[in-house]
A and B are shown apart, each in its own frame.
Chain A
Amino acid sequence: MSVAVAPAFAADQIFVALKYWLVLHTPGPFQTLVSILLTIIPIIVVFPALFAVTTVLERKGLGRIQNRYGPNRVGPWGVFQPLADAVKSLTKEDIVPRSADHVVHYLAPLVLVATAFLAFAVLPIGRNMTAVNLDAGVLFFFAIGAATELAVFMAGWSSRNKYSLLGAMRAIAQMISYEIPLILSSVAVIMISGTLSTTRIVDEQAHYTGTVAHWNVFTPWGLAGFILFMIAATAETNRSPFDLPEGESEIIAGYFIEYSGFKFALFFLAEYLEMFAVSGLGITLFLGGWSSPFSFLAWIPSWIWFFGKLLALIVGFIWVRGTLPRLRMDQLMNFAWKFMLPMTLVVIVSAGVWRFLPAGVAGSAALGGVIRWLVCALVVAGPYIALARVLERGRKIEKRTYRYAE
């Protein structure tokens, strides 16, 4: 029994209505142009603004985790730090190494930022608020994501620096390895929804049984898929604990070591934009996109739900960064191929079982739902325990002794 969500509220559709109003009040020949600009400009404004907020949040959060204050000199509690950072990066000298490949060196950050922005085109950031409603939206997202690898290579190769080339090699190896679990964990959602369109995937989840929404993360395969997706997303965006491509203590800053000033800021921006985009896709696929978890909370505008979930995931990213140490290269690859890949396949099988088990048995609908949930959880948990046993075999976990640190 699913109840359709209540009709759209004025606050929910305020931006959509505003756009239509503005388009209606422009002269005829310019309507298409204005409509396109009104779709693109908010994306180009809102997400970099979110980037500015996130840098403060991250530095304050990391500071708290590491028992220090973080930035607290510019403005009250240091909230104007991003403005100071922006001025600094704009006024800094742009240094290009003499032996660098100037054209490719110049193009790399531009390609990276452009592809990072393109990914937002298919994300539904609110009800009726998808920039481009593609039939193959999820495929578009991954195709654009694949193009960022080439930009990373361009940056690493054109700098003519062994550290930057090493960083680019590490980044590409890592991105290719973790792209597979990333895509495979979304396959389960695509199978259940029966569509690649991000808008329709969210629509499927915006129904309620009783008061609880049909979010994919509430199912056993969805929960496991969401965890795997977010781990792979962390690796895709080169964030800690998967920040080997940057590895300050080993290769200084990886592929963007030879960039300074505003180009460095562009790399920084692109990295955070990718994090927002992939979190946005995680929200779309597993956390019900713009929909509310409970039907009695549906009065809160859809775009607040999306950005609230996005901020929650960002806080999760910051927390993980402050908590976990960096992996070694062999650990990284073993984790991707021996653990992530088999587990995503198990999740796909579990989603298949979910699809073909009846949701309700004769007599009681609730009992059938519970049985289906338990069976699917078993399909995920059994292989997980077996896989963990096999991988842990011959490995003794004991207290580490440090020679110089104690």
Chain B
Amino acid sequence: MRMTLPFLILAILTLAGGVAAMTLRRLVHCALALSVAFAGLAALYLNLDAEFAGLAQLLVYVGAIAILIVFAILLTRGGDSDAEKSFSPAGIGGAVIALAVFAVLAWATETSGIAHPALVTPPPESAMREIGLALMQRYVLPLEVIALMLTAAMIGAVILAVRERRNPAGTESAERPGLGA
């Protein structure tokens, strides 16, 4: 793989975001740094002509997951707790697991032929169209199953959230604002 300048900039940005997410003291800062890493990763995908993966990464991770993390921090701990840094034995295990995952990924990349530029096929002209056709034809059943599962999960979450409030005082008077009203 050739190291182009855009790749280097994006790689440094992504890594810096990841490192900052691990080292910053305030949790909200960590979450924001993590979203920088997500955005950098999305830009890396775009740099590799993987438009759908990059934009989906931006939409899902920066648009939804980062917001979810930030909300979770705000609603649970106030985001102000400055956690003391301490060395824990779990850190060693984490480092070993990270190294192992990296080794497996590196091995898979090396042996898959992506590392040899001669074997890389150029991206298709209309990649979006092919992804859409694959999702709607060949993989339509898995797609529908996942959709059903997500819907069930969402309904379950709503039921859990509604049960907490026994006295829905505000919701009783809820009214739909008509288009012309």
A and B: real partners? Answer: yes
Q: How many residues of B contact A (CB 8 A)?
A: 35
Cβ–Cβ contact A176 & B174, under 8 A:
no
- Give the A-B contact count at a CB cut-off of 8 A: 91
Residues of B within 8 Å of A195, CB to CB, are 128-129
Give chain B's interface secondary structure class. helix
B13 sits at the interface (CB 8 A): no
Residues of B within 8 Å of A334, CB to CB, are 174-177
Give chain A's interface secondary structure class. helix
The segment from B3-11, B51-59, B108-116 that touches chain A is B51-59
Q: How far is the CA of A257 from the CA of B160 in the complex (A)?
A: 35
B28 sits at the interface (CB 8 A): yes
Q: How far is the CA of A194 from the CA of B126 in the complex (A)?
A: 11
Q: What are the interface flags for B25-63 relative to A under an 8 Å C-beta threshold, 1 for contact and 0 otherwise?
A: 010110010010001001000000001100110110011
Set B32, B39, B79, B177: member contacting A331, Cβ < 8 A:
B177
B162 sits at the interface (CB 8 A): no
- Give residues of chain A (316-339) contacting chain B, Cβ–Cβ below 8 Å: 327, 330-331, 334-335, 338-339
Report the minimum CB–CB distance from B161 to chain A (whole Å). 13
The segment from B64-72, B81-89, B97-105, B144-152 that touches chain A is B64-72
CB-CB under 8 A for A142 and B67, given A135-B126, A157-B79, A195-B129: no
A140 sits at the interface (CB 8 A): yes
Cβ–Cβ contact A150 & B35, under 8 A:
yes
Cβ–Cβ contact B32 & A104, under 8 A:
yes
A251 sits at the interface (CB 8 A): no
Residues of A within 8 Å of B126, CB to CB, are 135
Residues of A within 8 Å of B58, CB to CB, are 143-144, 146-147
A98 sits at the interface (CB 8 A): no
Residues of B within 8 Å of A144, CB to CB, are 58
Set A134, A149, A165, A196: member contacting B63, Cβ < 8 A:
A149
CB-CB under 8 A for A196 and B128, given A135-B51, A330-B171, A338-B176: yes
Residues of A within 8 Å of B171, CB to CB, are 330
Report the minimum CB–CB distance from A368 to chain B (whole Å). 27
Instruction: Give the A-binding residues of B (Cβ under 8 A).
Output: 26, 28-29, 32, 35, 39, 42, 51-52, 55-56, 58-59, 62-64, 66-67, 70-71, 74, 79, 126-129, 170-171, 173-178, 181
Interchain Cβ contacts under 8 Å between A and B, 11 examples: A134-B51, A135-B128, A139-B51, A139-B52, A139-B128, A147-B62, A147-B63, A157-B70, A196-B128, A197-B128, A330-B171
